[in-house]
């Protein structure tokens, strides 16, 4: 599988996550971010475990728990809290900080050299999403901004550890995603029941929203995402995450009726340019891939 195909498949994940904000505000019951995270992760994780038919062994029990909390358990409630307190474009746009976080953590944890082209792309992406955030009607709720930043920091560290630890040789991408979704869901389960409880009523719209988030935004997206992290360079997934604010902003305008300024249009253009430019200069670094991955699936390090 060539690098372009891997990029396109991996991009499906952040694009689907960009729909989270409009789904949350338009379909889900207000005041239940933990429940939204739980229903997005645990059912999808159990389905993935049933399909993959593989359980962790040895230290992978601990690693799966850590990755599940970083990528799912901590990220989901922060994501939905931000979605409830901020306009869709603003909430997703804070993800623009993720490439910078990934670059810094990659240098510290993976000893991956920060290339000037990657740094410029990351800075340009952050500037672009800044233009989106500073739209005329942007409601910069402090708690919402902190929640969004906490979420991208958590997943940024999750990306780095996923890259460092790789995936066991005999474990497929569906089972691997299932480990993390289940671990994150189990982490959220007692928090949801003790802190939030259950809503008095879940109507058809809410059920449809939870179904979308659990299947497309959960099982499918995370299977493709974790596989892409292992096959692409360190910075590539962080830059692909910039697709989330672009999708969220467009949906916020089209569906939620949010305003859209020329500055925000410029910001989206800068984000897209940073994404494309960053992928062109990024050189995939060999990581801990499964031994069972075929030669045809490996990404040429010089692509």
Query: Cα–Cα distance between 212 and 174 in angstroms, integer?
Result: 18
From the centroid of its chain, how far is CA 101? 13
From the centroid of its chain, how far is CA 140? 22
143 or 297, greater pLDDT: 143
Query: Cα–Cα distance between 66 and 246 in angstroms, integer?
Result: 29
Reported as a pLDDT band with limits 50, 70 and 90, residue 31 is confident
Q: Give the pLDDT score at 285.
A: 46
- Mean pLDDT value across residues 96-105: 80
Query: Cα–Cα distance between 102 and 107 in angstroms, integer?
Result: 8
In the predicted structure, residue 207 carries a pLDDT above the cut 90:
yes
pLDDT mean across residues, the chain:
82
Where are the alpha helices (H) located in 53-141, listed in sequence order? 60-68, 75-85, 88-93, 98-109, 116-133
Element (H, E) at 260: none
Q: Give the pLDDT score at 286.
A: 45
Q: Give the pLDDT score at 132.
A: 67
- Rounded to two decimals, the pTM is 0.81
- Mean pLDDT value across residues 107-122: 80
Query: Cα–Cα distance between 158 and 7 in angstroms, integer?
Result: 19
In the predicted structure, residue 278 carries a pLDDT above the cut 80:
no
In the predicted structure, residue 291 carries a pLDDT above the cut 50:
no
Q: Structural domain boundaries of the chain?
A: 3-282
Reported as a pLDDT band with limits 50, 70 and 90, residue 297 is very low
Query: Cα–Cα distance between 171 and 254 in angstroms, integer?
Result: 41
Alpha carbons within 13 A on the beta-carbon side of 259: 10
Is the separation of the CB atoms in 4 and 228 below 8 Å? no
Structure tokens at 70: 């970083």
243 or 264, greater pLDDT: 243
34 or 206, greater pLDDT: 206
Q: Give the pLDDT score at 302.
A: 35
What is the tens place of the pLDDT at every residue in 149-166?
A: 888 889 889 989 998 898
Handedness of CA 208, 210, 212, 215 (dihedral sign): negative
In a 10 Å sphere around its CB, with 0-12 CB exposed, 13-18 middle and 19+ buried, how is residue 32 labelled? buried
Three-state DSSP state, 166? coil
Is the separation of the CB atoms in 257 and 266 below 8 Å? no
Count other Cβ atoms within 10 Å, centred on residue 254.
11
What is the tens place of the pLDDT at every residue in 42-67?
A: 999 999 999 998 999 999 999 999 99
In the predicted structure, residue 209 carries a pLDDT above the cut 60:
yes
In the predicted structure, residue 94 carries a pLDDT above the cut 80:
no
């Amino acid at each position: 599988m060539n690098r372009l195909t891997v990029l396109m498949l991996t991009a499906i994940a952040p694009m689907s996550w960009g729909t989270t904000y409009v789904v949350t505000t338009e379909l889900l019951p207000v005041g239940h971010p933990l429940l939204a995270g739980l229903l997005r992760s645990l059912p999808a994780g159990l389905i993935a475990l049933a399909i993959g038919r593989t359980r962790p062994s040895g230290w992978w029990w601990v690693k799966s728990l850590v990755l599940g909390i970083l990528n799912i358990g901590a990220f989901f409630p922060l994501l939905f809290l931000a979605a409830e307190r901020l306009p869709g474009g603003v909430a997703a746009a804070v993800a623009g900080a993720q490439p910078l976080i990934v670059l810094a953590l990659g240098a510290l944890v993976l000893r991956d050299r920060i290339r000037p082209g990657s740094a410029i792309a990351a800075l340009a992406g952050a500037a672009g999403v800044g233009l989106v955030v500073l739209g005329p009607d942007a409601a910069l709720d402090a708690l919402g901004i902190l929640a969004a930043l906490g979420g991208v920091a958590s997943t940024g560290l999750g990306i780095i550890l996923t890259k460092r630890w790789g995936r066991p040789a005999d474990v497929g991408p569906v089972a691997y995603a299932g480990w993390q979704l289940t671990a994150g869901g189990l982490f959220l389960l007692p928090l949801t029941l003790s802190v939030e409880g259950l809503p008095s009523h879940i109507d058809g719209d809410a059920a449809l929203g939870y179904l979308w988030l659990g299947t497309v935004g959960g099982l499918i997206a995370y299977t493709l995402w974790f596989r892409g992290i292992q096959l692409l360079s360190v910075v590539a997934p962080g830059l692909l995450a910039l697709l989330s604010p672009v999708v969220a902003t467009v949906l916020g305008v089209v569906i939620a009726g949010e305003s859209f300024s020329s500055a925000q249009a410029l910001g989206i253009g800068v984000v897209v340019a940073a994404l494309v430019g960053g992928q062109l200069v990024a050189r995939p670094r060999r990581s801990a891939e499964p031994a069972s991955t075929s030669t045809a699936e490996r990404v040429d390090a010089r692509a």
